[in-house]
């Protein structure tokens, strides 16, 4: 079994340097895939109300028999923004997960036109005080949105989960996170297996270290101090993806991979994109 290292979040909780994405892992096959990942050493599972798989995540936690070692993430959907709505949403997530506590609770998208993410955040902090949430974070937040949360509540989120891969390295946002003690988490870290994995520069870095292109990309994430959450339904690819801590990329290699930057791959600008 692999051992995935951890870092300490700004609230004092430990957080793995790599986790499992669970989008599209549903039904019995989804549970099997999550149980396999936990058996292979994964401790962080990333779910959301809108993935419609919280029940499966909870089932995988129970089957693993190691609930206390696991860190389960779920997210407030846009339709549940607002203080009371978020408290209700959390209750629904806890029930579907079958857990007493959400280890990392995120606002899935800021939906700035609705303008209720600060209220949701206050509710999440209250849930943390009640022991129903361990760490409070956000997803798809810009620097301006993070600044507003900090100004209005005095509490920096523990995590901001954002689109991040070699085509969109998010240099400025990562620097802002570092300055405010916010842990970066990378969604779609493999750019959803697009042509990224056949880029010559990634092939060269991988060959230099005797690893696969996927491993080179995931090590690039961890060396940028971001926690990637690659999704794989396949146990052998799960092992490949998590086995990235035995080699170190040079500064030049990190820069060469980051030079693939070309911008967002999907229509996910947090200032305009809305998800309910």
Ligand X SMILES: NC(=O)c1ccc[n+]([C@@H]2O[C@H](COP(=O)([O-])OP(=O)(O)OC[C@H]3O[C@@H](n4cnc5c(N)ncnc54)[C@H](OP(=O)(O)O)[C@@H]3O)[C@@H](O)[C@H]2O)c1
CA angle, 59 then 191 then 61, to 5°:
10
> Segment contacting ligand X (CB under 6 A): 35-43, 97-105, 124-132, 189-197?
189-197
Does 187 bind ligand X (CB under 6 A)? Our answer is: yes
Q: Pick the binder of ligand X from 191, 202, 206, 224 (CB under 6 A).
A: 191
Q: 51, 117, 121, 167: which one is catalytic?
A: 51
Joined together, the tokens standing for residue 239 give: 């092992």
Q: Pick the binder of ligand X from 201, 233, 256, 265 (CB under 6 A).
A: 233
- Least distance to ligand X from the beta carbon of 111, Å? 12
Mind giving me the DSSP string for 117-180?
HHHHHHHHHHHHHTTSEEEEEEES--HHHHHHHHHHHS---SEEEEE-BTTB--HHHHHHHHHH
Instruction: Please answer whether residues 93 and 102 qualify as being in contact, where contact means their C-beta atoms are separated by less than 8 angstroms.
Output: yes
Catalytic residue list contains 167: no
Q: Is 263 helix (H, G, I), strand (E, B) or coil?
A: coil
Does 166 bind ligand X (CB under 6 A)? Our answer is: no
Does 21 bind ligand X (CB under 6 A)? Our answer is: yes
Closer residue to ligand X, CB minimum distance, 84 or 269: 269
- Least distance to ligand X from the beta carbon of 174, Å? 16
Instruction: Say how far apart CA 41 and CA 19 lie, in whole Å.
Output: 10
Any idea which residues carry the catalytic annotation? Answer: 51
Give residues in contact with ligand X (CB under 6 A).
21-23, 46, 108, 139-140, 161, 187-193, 214, 229-234, 237, 240-241
């Amino acid at each position: 079994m692999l051992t995935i290292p951890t870092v300490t979040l700004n609230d004092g909780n430990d957080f793995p340097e790599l986790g499992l994405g669970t989008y599209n892992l549903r039904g019995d096959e989804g549970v099997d895939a999550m149980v396999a990942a936990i058996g292979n050493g994964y401790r962080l599972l990333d779910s959301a109300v809108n993935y419609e798989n919280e029940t499966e995540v909870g089932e995988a936690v129970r089957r693993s028999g190691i609930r206390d070692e696991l860190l389960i993430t779920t997210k407030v959907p846009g339709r549940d923004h607002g203080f009371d709505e978020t408290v209700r949403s959390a209750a629904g997530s806890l029930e579907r997960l079958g857990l007493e506590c959400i280890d990392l609770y995120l606002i899935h998208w800021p939906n700035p036109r609705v303008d209720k993410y600060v209220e949701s955040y206050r509710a999440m902090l209250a849930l943390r005080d009640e022991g129903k949430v361990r760490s409070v974070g956000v997803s798809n937040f810009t620097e301006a949105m993070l600044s507003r949360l900090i100004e209005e509540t005095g509490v920096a989120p523990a995590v901001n989960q954002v689109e991040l891969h070699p085509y969109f390295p998010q240099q400025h946002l990562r620097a802002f996170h570092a300055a405010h003690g916010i842990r970066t988490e990378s969604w779609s870290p493999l750019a959803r297996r697009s042509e990224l994995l056949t880029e010559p520069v990634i092939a060269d870095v991988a060959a230099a270290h005797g690893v696969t292109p996927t491993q080179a990309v995931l090590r690039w994430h961890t060396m940028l101090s971001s926690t990637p959450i690659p999704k794989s339904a396949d146990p052998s690819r799960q092992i490949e993806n998590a086995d990235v801590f035995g080699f170190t990329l040079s500064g030049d290699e990190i820069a060469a991979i980051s030079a693939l930057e070309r911008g967002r791959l999907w229509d996910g600008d947090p200032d305009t994109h809305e998800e309910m």
